[in-house]
A and B are shown apart, each in its own frame.
Chain A
Amino acid sequence: MNINKNLAISENGFVFDPNTGESFSLNPVGVEILSYLKSNMSKDKIVKTLLKKYDTDEITIEKNYLEFLTMLREYRLIENE
């Protein structure tokens, strides 16, 4: 998986893609996952980190994580190798 390293992620939930000029708005968990991806964190590590921090279960996080990646791919913010 390749993430666009030029993405500008602001803490209040906005993301700007300088390659396309497109802007996105994310909720806090969305921003968090995108930042982890940008720093090359592995999927397992991301899931574990979220699990420790939030009141939820592993299955939910995994499911939501995979769906979130689908959306990032849809918006061409990440690409499969």
Chain B
Amino acid sequence: MKKLAYERPIINKLNTGMPNKFGMKTEYLPITHIDEVSVKEIIEKHGSPVYVLSEKNIRATYRKAKKSFTTRYPKVQFAWSYKTNYLNAVCRVFHQEGSWAEVVSGFEYNKAIANGISGDHIIFNGPDKSVSYLTTAINNGSLIHIDNYDELYTIIDLTEKLEKTPKVAIRVNMDTGIFPQWSRFGFNYDNGEAWDALNRILINGNLELVGLHAHIGTYILTATAYTVAGTKLADLATRVKEKYNYVIQYIDFGGGFASKNTLIGAYLPGTDTCPTFDDYAEAITSSIINSNIKPEDFPTIILESGRALIDDAGYILGTVLANKRLADGSRSMVINVGVNLLFTSFWYEHKITPAQKFSPYTEHTSVYGPLCMNIDVIRKSADLPIMKKGDNFVISRVGAYNMTQWMQFITLRPRIVMIDPGGKVHVIREAETNKDFDLFEKIPDYLTKIN
């Protein structure tokens, strides 16, 4: 007689009078394949843990976002936010789709150039632009988004030395009715500082003012905050036109569109609460269309959306290391993916799905990573199907920030593979080895021998 599939016994208390998901049947199915490629085969070939990116998903998401804007407004340009995911293969997919590059450091600037983007299609943001990189950016005709007065005067200084006219925009911060207000970056609109900076640039005459920029925050759940931002930026553009008879070429709305991840503590899942690309596009384009800017002067709308374009395309696959019952009776599961590889678990309740068949029973479980550290919590509490040691799982929506903000801590960083639209799996970043890591270290002579 064939034996039955085994599952460890579980018992959950039902709380009467309160809607509760304990012990209820799970609604989700195992993820056995990503883009028709077997999860188990990826793990066999490329190890566990391993990051997986779906190129098909990146392209589809990008096209969907772009269409939301181009159906509402004539001039739209995306610029890929490098910090969100600067794997060269990922950047090149976005560049092939027509995205420019948005960078915030010399390191990212070099990457964009190496990825084949021409200097005049690089937006240089952020508070950290060295004189040497500003010089490169000016010589390349890149779009320099000025963050503060010190930077403005450094650039004015450089124009005299280089005898070039830099293309500049100012970053503007403002109250858009949401919290937190990102007031650290750029010039404030509400107290008149942004208007003052614009006057200084236009009176100077050695700088070419090309745009206005705002990045009002990240994971913005209120699309109408962008309407407020657009209205304020359009007001600046209108005043510039009135006073100087000068037309500003573009308004850059930064990033900040929410991905469909669920924030920790949120009552409803992100899939139910996040605005759609159409919602954001409606909020943004209407702010320009309904402004006092004349249609012949309509600026190009630039978008630096990061997480919303790449989160869904990324997965991390891993393995269950152990199941434990803690002293207080609660159940916990230890997996081989820690916060060093999944930085975003500090904000998101990431969905963990078994990669093999599971029964409809769930258990309330804490999920911990493999690091020998108390902070290494992937899910504080989740109703998860029962998995045993050695089982595989898929964590979804991890494409944004994890492959850049990861840490080499206690373990080495694993391989990253990308599935092309034809279903072929490509290694786009090798797993790190001890040897790679040792390349950066030097041992003083007197320490070569330890006894």
Contact = CB atoms under 8 A, between A and B. Distances in A.
Interface stretch (B3-11, B94-102, B340-348): B3-11
Nearest to B2: A55
Interface of B: 3-14, 16, 22-24, 325, 329, 359, 361, 386, 388
B5 A71 contact: no
B13 A75 contact: yes
A71 B6 contact: no
A29 B3 contact: no
A26 B10 contact: yes
A22 B6 contact: no
A55 B4 contact: yes
Contact of B11 (A24, A50, A52): A24
A2 interface: no
A15, A50, A67: which has the most chain B beta carbons within 10 Å? A67
Interface in A23-81: 23-30, 32-34, 50, 52-56, 60-61, 64-65, 67-68, 70-72, 74-75
A43 to B, nearest CB: 13
A7 B84 CA distance: 55
A26, A61, A65, A72: which has the most chain B beta carbons within 10 Å? A26
A66 B6 CA distance: 16
Main secondary structure on A side of the interface with B: helix
Contact of B325 (A22, A54, A67): A67
Given A23-B14, A29-B7, A55-B4, 9 more contacts: A22-B14, A25-B24, A26-B9, A26-B10, A33-B9, A52-B3, A53-B4, A56-B6, A72-B11
B19 to A, nearest CB: 14
A68 to B, nearest CB: 4
B14 A24 contact: yes
A71 to B, nearest CB: 5
Interface residues of A, number: 32
Given A24-B11, A27-B386, A29-B8, A71 B3 contact: no
7 nearest CB pairs, A to B: A25-B23, A56-B6, A30-B9, A54-B6, A27-B361, A55-B3, A64-B8
Main secondary structure on B side of the interface with A: loop
Given A53-B3, A55-B4, A60-B6, A25 B329 contact: no
Contact of A30 (B11, B24, B388): B11
Contacts of A30: 9-11
A52 B6 CA distance: 11
A71 B329 contact: yes
A26 B9 CA distance: 7
Contacts of B14: 14, 22-25
Given A26-B11, A27-B10, A54 B22 contact: no
A29 B6 contact: yes
Contacts of A15: 11
Given A25-B14, A25-B22, A54 B4 contact: yes
A23 B9 CA distance: 17
A75 B325 contact: no
B359 A27 contact: yes
22 contacts: A23-B14, A24-B12, A24-B13, A25-B12, A25-B24, A25-B361, A27-B10, A28-B359, A30-B9, A30-B10, A32-B9, A33-B9, A34-B11, A54-B4, A54-B5, A55-B3, A60-B8, A68-B11, A70-B325, A71-B329, A72-B11, A74-B329
A14 B7 CA distance: 17
Contacts of A56: 6
A71 B11 contact: yes
A15 B23 CA distance: 12
Contacts of B12: 24-26
B8 to A, nearest CB: 4
Contacts of B325: 67, 70-71
Contacts of B361: 13, 25, 27
Contacts of B16: 23
Given A71-B329, A74-B329, A27 B6 contact: no
A30, A32, A34: which has the most chain B beta carbons within 10 Å? A30
